[in-house]
Amino acid sequence: MHYEGIVTVRFKKSVLEPQGQAVMLSLKETGHEDVDLIRVGKHIEVTLQAESEDMARQKLEKIAEELLYNPVMEVCEIQITGKA
Amino acid sequence: MHYEGIVTVRFKKSVLEPQGQAVMLSLKETGHEDVDLIRVGKHIEVTLQAESEDMARQKLEKIAEELLYNPVMEVCEIQITGKA
């Protein structure tokens, strides 16, 4: 079976996130003074083959740990969204 | 009032997405043959001031159009997730 999942990777709150800081600066320069905070993370869509939804989640967790995020600086959230 | 929102930016299905392709290649090399597709997009968290949820959404749409995505290659989804 083919399953679809989403891996959301965000920087930890304690870590300075440079891309968001850059966007904040541009917003202030273009008059958007009402923005308090912007943090940019990753939204990763994955389609994979697995025998069950549980297996799909386990595979996706393994892939995320190996390649998609850095546990020192980032947090990661995994959702299986449905069958493909 | 302070509102929290999420802007999700993804490449259009018709556009080749290089970061996802690179991850796919690494996965194949490390024995993850069961992954069909990976596409990497952006997950952008925003906190901003607005008079109402509708106003917050309008502001966020304007910011997204100005700075957060390229409508030629990407699609953008906006959610207001709550009050900060």
**Per-residue model confidence as pLDDT tens digits over B1-36:** 999 999 999 999 999 999 999 999 999 999 999 999
Termini Cα distance of chain A: 8
A46–B38: do the CB atoms touch at under 8 Å? yes
B49–A36: do the CB atoms touch at under 8 Å? yes
A84 falls in which pLDDT band (50, 70, 90)? Answer: confident
Number of domains in chain B: 1
Alpha helices by DSSP H, chain B: 18-29, 53-63
Calculate Rg over the CA atoms of chain A: 16
What dihedral do alpha carbons A78, B82, B11, A19 form, nearest 10°? -90
List the single residue in A with minimal CA-CA distance to B50.
A34
pLDDT in tens, B48-67: 999 999 999 999 999 999 99
Chain B residues with at least one Cβ partner in A under 8 Å: 2, 8-10, 20, 23, 26-27, 30, 32, 34-50, 59, 63, 66-68, 84
Contact B48, B60 (CB under 8 A): yes
Nearest to A4 by CA among A57, A77, A41: A57
Residue A53, domain extent: 2-83
Domain CATH code at residue A56:
3.30.1280.10
B30–A66: do the CB atoms touch at under 8 Å? yes
